[in-house]
Amino acid sequence: MRRTVGTLKAVGALFYRLWMRFVRRLAALNTFVLMAFSFYILVLPIGLVRRILARGKEQEGWIRREPLAPDHYRKQY
Amino acid sequence: MLILGISAFYHDSAACLLRDGRIVAAVQEERLTRVKHDSSFPVRAIQSCLEIAECRIEDVDFVVFYEKPFLKFERLLETYVRRAPRGFASYRKVLPLWVKDKLWMKHWIQQRLNYGGPILFSEHHESHAAAAFFPSPFASAAIVTVDGAGEWTTAAWGKGEGNDLKLDYEIRFPHSLGLLYTAFTYYLGFKVNSDEYKVMGLAPYGQPVYQAQIEEELIRLHDDGSFRLNLDYFNYETGFTMTSELFEKRFGGPPRKPGEPLTQRHKDLAASIQAVTEKAMLRLCRRVREETGEERLCMAGGVALNCVANGRILRESGFREIWIQPAAGDAGGAVGAALALYHRFLGKPREVDGSCDGMGWGYLGPRFDGESVRRVLDNAGAQYEELPEPELIRRTCLKLAEGAVVGWFQGRMEFGPRALGNRSILADPRHSGMQAKLNLRIKFRESFRPFAPSVLEERQAEFFESDYPSPYMLLVSPVAADKRECLPAVTHVDGSARVQTVNEQQNGRYYRLIRGFADLTGCPVLVNTSFNVRNEPIVCSPQDAYNCFMRTNMDVLVMEQFFLTKEGQEWERP
């Protein structure tokens, strides 16, 4: 009985390790796909359009800062 | 009223606690975790601040973070948008980190600190400006902040008066003087956001032969003190390196690898970027002097740690007085955020007496009393003597004069990158071989690295070409021509030194030690370098100090009233 339990535990541990390895790879793939999608479908086209619209408009030298409202500390932006 | 300021998640995490507007504690996380430039959420530093102030997190009225995470995230996204299709490799690594952790600062603070009170957010350069102006001894002053990058701002200037300040003008990312310097730090094989001071130390060994090329191709310096980078030479916006292939092509090859020998070309590059930085900072400060009409200047931001540039600003920019936040980098942002909240958000008044600043001479960290030192020594089985102060100073001075290297540990730990006489390694500056001995046998670091002197404030002008107090070791001045041969260990190759002036009010015991050394030898100067070895943070606790003492070839250790010599211990030479 004890031997069976030990074997089951070892098999369970092996399964867990393999499963976690698989899940980590799946998560990495998932993140890659999501990131690639957002980068090439959203970031890139927006960037290209804005580059065309903003051509020659970039400010140089000192930029006047807008005074910060007294309650800006409440905001994270 | 208690306000807790926090800086984290970029480099040099730190915490600062204000009680009724006075800084009662400020600690960098790296000193407690023993991870140099630790950027993790500063749980231990916060705990240490609370212990120093003898209060609990529930007693804290406000917690304030030193920058605005959403604005910084916006800058990241905007940068990817501007550079796409470049930058995907960085985008896919950086974005998940932000979405998972860095954006949710409020949640972090609530969860990690179990804090239910109000959590507020300053702005990165406003935190720097507040850290520069509010603790300064000036009622009104011009303010200059220059660093790598905040949310968007990389440099800004304005004015502070009474309990208010305003930054009027700024330069925005990606145009950054700090990042330009960091790009050269990277190219010269040193760690970014960490080893910039090594470039500054290397510069006097070279000639600024690349200065004209840098000014022609990499950075345009305008007459109004502003500047603009040519981004074709850099890769820091969306890449994993600081410099681009074009940079490498124009400056003679790939970046130096850590550990590779430093050639004359590397030294010339260091001299060139240092010269450009000094020119840019001088031009900026002169412009601010003209525009604001102020005679006093306060500075902060990582570039304000460039003490060679600071020395020139003091001498050549037209300002009568300058005050630099001793923790000018991001650690000081915790101080600035807390002070900004107190004075600007809560409208509390600011008291200035014109002579003493609000930084407590930089001694804002934890203190370890004699009993806790004794416990550490007893547990380690160390052989030590307990001596009254006059005898302790006499014995230490004798050892120093014999050429011994002394670990000096006392009182509250310093806040900021410099050791100011409480966690210091001391030596006799008159010994010509001392620089090499300290670099190679004690600190195990590059042989070119210079050492700084501590001098009695009242005798500074005899030994250095300046009588301007420099308690935080942030100003470089020339060593007096007739004293250069007397102080070989602290005179850099260009005849300069990064001076710390010491008076009795500032640090009584350290002052008495230097005075004792002067009485014995006629020399009121000591070598003062931080109590650590290469790639480690400065020691914090007696245990850290004892470990460092035993791992190096240091000859003597003084911890509070306890005196240890290496001969008295069982140890193996490293």
ipTM for the complex shown? 0.85
The chain-wide mean pLDDT, for chain B, equals 94
For residue B571, what pLDDT band results from cuts at 50, 70 and 90?
low
β-sheet with B14-19: strand ranges across: B22-28, B14-19, B2-7, B62-65, B119-121
**Residue B572 has what pLDDT?**
65
Query: Strand (E) positions, B510-552?
Result: 525-530
**Region B24-49: what's the mean pLDDT?**
96
The helix or strand, by DSSP H or E, that contains position B458, with its residue range, turns out to be none
Most confident of A2-11, B98-107, B175-184: B175-184
Cα B147 to Cα B68: distance, rounded to the nearest angstrom: 16
pLDDT tens, position by position, B132-150: 999 999 999 999 999 999 9
CA atoms within 13 A on the CB side of B542: 24
Question: Per-residue pLDDT averaged across B199-226, rounded?
Answer: 96
User: Cα–Cα distance between B113 and B304 in angstroms, integer?
Assistant: 32
Model confidence at B291: pLDDT above 90: yes
- State residue B232's pLDDT score: 95
pLDDT at B1: 94
CA separation (Å) from B574 to B283, B434, B530, B539?
A: 48, 18, 19, 19
Residue A57 has pLDDT above 90, yes or no: no
Please give the pLDDT value at position B11.
Answer: 83
- Residues of chain B that touch chain A, judged by Cβ-Cβ distance less than 8 Å: 64, 68-71, 74, 77, 80-85, 88, 91-92, 95-96, 105-106, 120-123, 126, 153, 156, 158, 166-172, 222, 224-226, 228, 340-341, 344-345
In the predicted structure, residue B460 carries a pLDDT above the cut 80: yes
A56 falls in which pLDDT band (50, 70, 90)? low
Q: What percent of chain B has pLDDT over 70?
A: 99
DSSP state of B481: G
Q: Across residues A34-52, what is the average pLDDT?
A: 91
Rounded-to-integer distance, Cα B523 and Cα B80, Å:
57
Per-residue pLDDT band for B570 (boundaries 50, 70, 90) equals: confident
Of residues B494 and A60, which shows the higher confidence score?
Answer: B494
* Mean pLDDT across B463-475: 95
- The yes-or-no verdict on residue B519 having pLDDT over 80 is yes
CB contact under 8 A, B80 and A47: yes
Q: Residue B388's pLDDT band (boundaries 50, 70, 90)? A: very high
pLDDT of B102: 87
From chain B, pick out residues whose CB is under 8 angstroms from the CB of A32: 92
B175 catalytically annotated: no
Residue B27 has pLDDT above 90, yes or no: yes
Q: What span, in angstroms and rounded, lies between the C-alpha atoms of B221 and B324?
A: 24
CA-nearest residue to A66 within chain B is B168
Chain A residue with minimum CA distance to B288:
A62
pLDDT on residue B435: 87
Say what the pLDDT of residue B49 is: 98
- Report the predicted TM-score, pTM, of the whole model to 2 decimal places: 0.93
* pLDDT score, position B427: 96
Is the model's pLDDT at B442 over the cut of 90? no
Whether B354 has a pLDDT exceeding 80, the answer reads no
B296, B323 in Cβ contact below 8 A?
yes
B573 pLDDT above the threshold of 70: no
Over residues B177-204, the mean pLDDT reads: 95
Backbone angles phi, psi at A76, to 5 degrees: -95, 5
B195: left (phi over 0), alpha (psi -120 to 50) or beta: alpha
Q: How far is B234 from chain A (nearest CA, A)?
A: 18
